[in-house]
Structure 1
């Protein structure tokens, strides 16, 4: 179940499908983005991600899972990278730390922290 959910999340990121990305968060989800205010709730998080990528004229984003750490069957941490194309510059690579929570049999991102290298 988790593997399929991660594959769906990866597909949404790699397609820059921000509406679909919002579906991985819930109303009580929290996302701490790099160099920006904390975002709360699925709609705010999806809007932030879209603005962060498209509003800055950045290119395609490629999400790659690095590690999956099971705390319990209900709580899982993932560590991943998001490589974002930038015209005329090297790609920017963000590192994410996500806490997935299983609710009614479906994994959602409860908390996310993302950062950029210094």
Structure 2
């Protein structure tokens, strides 16, 4: 599981850089200031949680099979897909209803961080 999480961290990191560059260079003149800010928020949270996923992947090498760490990793991946993904699509398409699903991704991020706390409380030293 650690190797898979590390691979997904790499893929997510590549996508965060590519999408961030696309937003900064390709969308800057095409989006309104408001929609560009929405897009940038997606990139920002994408990066934050990619880094968190990387820490989870590395922790899984030390504690393989840890249920809280695995749950945290999948929660961060889900959050990136739903939270950041919905913001990317909202910004590019200006489809307002996508904003309604963004909080689901936010909840996934919260669950991931709660799982990190769960691990910290319940894990062996």
Task: Please indicate the TM-score interval, normalised by the length of the shorter structure.
Answer: 0.3 to 0.5
Q: Which has the higher helix share?
A: 2
Q: Which has the higher strand share?
A: 1
Larger radius of gyration: 2
TM superposition score normalised by structure 2: 0.33
TM superposition score normalised by structure 1: 0.34
